[in-house]
Amino acid sequence: MQKLKTTDLNRVGIEEFKEQDKLPVVVVMDNVRSMNNIGSAFRTADGFAIEKILLCGITAQPPHREIEKTAIGATQSVAWEHYEDTLEAIRELRKQGYVIIAIEQAVESIMLNTFKPEMDQKYALIFGNEVNGVSDEVMAEIDKCIEIPQFGTKHSFNIVISAGIVLWDFYAKLRL
């Protein structure tokens, strides 16, 4: 078996990407500390062609060298906005018709494998701080909570691993 070269992948350019149909998902980053996580989230968002990323609270914003290390240019393709307050961001998304979903371990959370996104719905997926998760104030405002099933000794995944798992699941259920 031979690996494909980058030129064999037939990827679209940045302008074509911006014009293409997007997965009806917005990623909301609630006070994420690590710039490597932020950059990786951009790269993952590009890979699944989501609508945009909202960077909230202390979450750093491009341009920044530490973000670009892992984004590898995805900050140029993926639309993004910054909000000082995550609650302000989700209230604006709700006005726009998004279902607000925290990715968190919580009472009455829905396991990802059983969650069925609706084809005609838009979703805002909230990923929380690396230590504290999604803030309690935000949890009080969500519509649903999705939990990723886990089977090992650790109690959580890295935020970008979680984003990759959840975005792949949404992409597979809505597009494939």
Q: What is the mean pLDDT of residues 96-121?
A: 98
CATH 3.30.160.20 is the classification of domain 21-147+156-175: no
d(CA 79, CA 104): 24
Percent of the chain with pLDDT over 90: 98
SS3 54: strand
Two tokens, residue 133: 């998760």
Q: What is the mean pLDDT of residues 60-64?
A: 97
Q: What is the pLDDT of residue 73?
A: 96
SS3 20: coil
pTM of the predicted model, to two decimals? 0.97
Q: What is the pLDDT of residue 44?
A: 98
Q: In what order do the strands lie in the sheet with 144-147?
A: 79-83, 50-56, 23-30, 122-127, 98-103, 144-147, 110-111
The DSSP code sequence of 55-111 is EETT---SS-HHHHHHHTTHHHHSEEEEES-HHHHHHHHHHTTEEEEEES--TTPEE
Task: Name the residue ranges covered by the structural domains of the chain.
Answer: 21-147+156-175
Q: What is the pLDDT of residue 121?
A: 98
**How sure is the predictor about 74, in pLDDT bands with cuts at 50, 70 and 90?**
very high
